[in-house]
Amino acid sequence: MINKFKSIRFGKTTNGLQIVSVGRGTKNVIFLEGGPGNGMIPAISGEAYYKSMKKLINNGYTIHSVSRKSNLPKDYTIAQMAKDIIEMINLDFEGKVNAIIGISMGGFLLQEIAIQNPNISDKYILLVSAYKVNSEAYEFDKKYAQLFSKGKYKEALLHIGDKLSSSKIKKIFFKIATILIGDKASRRMVKQTSTTYSSDILVEVEAEIKFNFKKSLQKITVPVLIIGVDKDFWFSPRLYKTTAKLIPKSKLIMLKGRGHVDILDAKVNNLIGNYILS
């Protein structure tokens, strides 16, 4: 059944955000991608969502993976990035979508959207995201962004690679892939993103490390499903639990034995699918 829906499209939204879409349904799910870095590799991103979101695609949904604007001015904030998403939904989705899922840094935008325009989506899901990142990630992410900004792609990927997954096999595979094709794939991604990628990633990392939404969480009035993992370098179990405690209508699901990127599989597909379809 899934094959007749398989069609990966890549382009720009009306207001200039990169978007990868999978499926042909009339209902829409927006994935707000993580960062820092607003680049996307359509084939990889589209295939990942095609495989992991089959339940929704088979039930009439289209999955849209959305990044952030290019040519960002200095000190551009998470709140401003959230406004860009709201503008996109108003322009390209008639002001309403069925669900928004914020992954990692994308979850920061989701929290802002849930306050700025709560009725713009029927469902909200925070996926490996909380009200801030762990403090030990500040300098770590800065170094990654600086390396990438300088075109030291392989070095940047090797720097971050050991923190992404809890799986030794995935770590080894990532390291091998980085050594073999890291530079080539990264250059291609940067080239197709924008000429300002090297400055955008630095703006994004500053926005990421400055973001702390703890005092605003109680203003989120919509229900939010939070899916966290217990071996996450960027978000500790304590951050997940505090976020869930302070959002009035939240539900927290913690997945054990998983790292930050170990979240697009059948189990998470079912958790997300069941929540959106409920």
- Name the strand (E) or helix (H) holding 83: helix 78-92
* Residue of 108, 86, 112, 83 whose CA lies nearest to 97: 86
- Does residue 252 lie in a domain region? yes
SS3 222: coil
Domain count, the chain: 1
Look up the domain containing 232 and give its range. Answer: 2-132+212-277
pLDDT in tens, 9-59: 888 999 999 999 999 899 999 999 999 998 877 777 788 888 888 889 999
Judge contact between 74 and 98, C-beta under 8 A.
no
- Does residue 15 lie in a domain region? yes
Cα–Cα distance for residue pair 200/171, rounded to 1 Å: 27
- Name the strand (E) or helix (H) holding 250: strand 250-255
Preceding omega of 36 cis (within 30 degrees of 0): yes
Compute the mean pLDDT over every residue in the chain, rounded to the nearest whole number.
91
- Does residue 157 lie in a domain region? no
- Does residue 205 lie in a domain region? no
- Does residue 97 lie in a domain region? yes
DSSP 51-73: HHTHHHHTTTEEEEEE---SSPP
CATH classification of the domain holding 69: 3.40.50.1820
Q: Quick one: pLDDT at residue 6? A: 60
Q: Quick one: pLDDT at residue 4? A: 46
H helices of 117-265, in order, are: 137-149, 153-164, 168-193, 197-210, 237-246
- Does residue 153 lie in a domain region? no
Q: Which residues of the chain register pLDDT less than 70? A: 1-6
Is pTM beyond 0.75? Reply is: yes
Q: Are strands 97-103 and 61-66 parallel, antiparallel or unpaired?
A: unpaired
- Does residue 234 lie in a domain region? yes
Q: Quick one: pLDDT at residue 77? A: 98
- Does residue 75 lie in a domain region? yes
SS3 172: helix
Q: What is the dihedral of CA 124, 129, 132, 134, to 10 degrees?
A: 170
Cα–Cα distance for residue pair 62/58, rounded to 1 Å: 9
